Amino acid sequence: MELEGEMRKGPWTEQEDVQLALCVNLYGDRRWDFIAKVSGLKRTGKSCRLRWVNYLHPGLKRGKMSSHEERLVLELHSRWGNRWSRIARKLPGRTDNEIKNYWRTYMRKKSQEKKRTKLSSPSSSVSYNSSYSSSSTISSTKIKDTDERNFFDTGGVAATGLSDAAEIQKGEYSMDEIWNDIVSSDDDEIKPVCPTLVPPIWDYCQDSLWNTDQGKDTDMFLHTSEPFYSLFGPEETFFAG
């Protein structure tokens, strides 16, 4: 076991990214403890995995979510609750972390909007508490003191009806459209839900991205926007077998 004190924490440096990427290329994206050791990085296997999955993995989309992705997140969340990794599988190129962060941001905004609405029209009986937090049947073990914590931990499920988040989308987007996408790809099979958003890479590595199979990943093409792509440049075929 590694000595706690020797382990590095905090932000990754470019050099560390390069080292990690090299090792993943060599040994595959499994055996993270092994990779952590042989890479010479003073990082835990866990930390290496996280860095790879959330930042270095080829095929990750970066930047703002499209409106289609946003709607999909809302809808899937209303169905599955805080099952971020599951939701992420339906959004190729997005990580559970990203979606989780997006959701928190979204809910905070909604929370503030509601508060404002409430303040401006105190007579109206806004019952957002029930629609957001009462359905937290999933993963709500760590609810803490503040309302905000409860608020985010919605864990909404379809049985409780569409969440408020989903409801507000009514009228501007057909839920049938969304569901057609979802249902057609149900359940764990990954299919691009919006062709315009999905680069050709997904045609052949949809599964390998998240259900990482050794070997498959090494064939992936690199997006020029990839963080470590820029470290090597187009000449260096980093993932060449």
Partner DNA sequence: AAAGCGCTCAACCGCATGCTG
Partner DNA sequence: CCAGCATGCGGTTGAGCGCTT
2 or 236: CB nearest DNA: 2
Nearer to DNA, 45 or 219 (CB): 45
Q: Which is nearer to DNA, 81 or 192 (CB)?
A: 81
Smallest gap from residue 48 Cβ to DNA (A): 8
Q: Which is nearer to DNA, 14 or 177 (CB)?
A: 14
Could you list the residues that contact DNA (CB under 7 A)?
A: 8-12, 30-34, 43-47, 49-51, 54-55, 62, 64, 82-86, 96-98, 100-102, 104-105, 108-109, 112, 138-140, 142-144, 149, 152-153, 155, 212
- Residue 102: CB minimum distance to DNA, A: 6
The set of residues, in sequence order, having a beta carbon less than 8 Å from that of 45 and lying 6+ positions away, is: 31, 32, 33, 34, 35, 36
- Amino acid at the residue 115: K
Q: Which residue is it, tokens 């507000």?
A: 168
CA distance 231 to 13: 12
Q: How far is the CB of 236 from DNA (least distance, A)?
A: 22
* 9 or 224: CB nearest DNA: 9
User: Based on CB atoms, which residue is closest to DNA, 62 or 170?
Assistant: 62
* Structure token pair of residue 211: 């259900």
* Minimum separation from the CB atom of position 235 to DNA (A): 26
Helix axes 67-80, 96-120, angle to 10 degrees: 90
Phi, psi at residue 101, to the nearest 5°?
-65, -40
- Give the C-alpha separation, 4 to 157, whole Å: 40
Q: Which is nearer to DNA, 148 or 236 (CB)?
A: 148
The Cα–Cα gap between 94 and 60 comes to 6
The distance of closest approach from Cβ of residue 238 to DNA in the complex, given in angstroms and rounded to an integer, is: 18
Min. distance of Cβ 173 from DNA in angstroms? 20
Give 7-51 as a DSSP string: ---SSPPHHHHHHHHHHHHHH-S--HHHHHHHT--SS-HHHHHHH
* 75, 223, 226 from 15: Cα distances, Å: 39, 20, 15
Q: How far is the CB of 132 from DNA (least distance, A)?
A: 13
